[in-house]
Amino acid sequence: MLEKQDTTEIWVEMTQQLLDDLDEARAKEKMGRSEMIMEATQQFLRQKKARDLRDEMERGYTEMASINFSIACECTHVESEAEDKNLQVLGG
């Protein structure tokens, strides 16, 4: 149960259908509206944080891919020289 001193009262508007669905769900879960809305909000924020982190990681990997490709292109001649040297040393 929620401690009164730990909460702040807000005003929320929603469609009648959404309120009916909320009341149906809270009755099944034996929860109050406030508790159910708070739990749903917490879940939404956790999921949003995870999505934001995933998006940030994707941007980072994409950025690093282009940087790594540029480095690889710049070093192609060095790799080719090393291969030529190996062939000379090994008698190929």
Q: Who contacts 35 (Cβ-Cβ below 8 Å, separation ≥6)? A: 1, 2, 26
Kind plus residue range of the DSSP H or E element containing 24 = helix 16-29
What global pTM score does this model have? 0.61
Q: Specify the amino acid at residue 32.
A: G
Calculate what percentage of the chain has a pLDDT beyond 90.
61
Mean pLDDT of the chain: 89
Do the beta carbons of residue 36 and residue 26 sit within 8 Å? yes
Determine how many CB atoms are found less than 10 A away from the CB of residue 9. 6
Model confidence at 7, pLDDT cuts 50, 70, 90, reads confident
Domain residue extents for the chain? 12-90
- The owner of tokens 């990997």 is 61
Inform me whether the pLDDT recorded for 29 exceeds 90: yes
Model confidence at 92, pLDDT cuts 50, 70, 90, reads low
Stronger pLDDT, 5 or 30, i.e. the higher one: 30
Give the C-alpha separation, 23 to 31, whole Å. 9
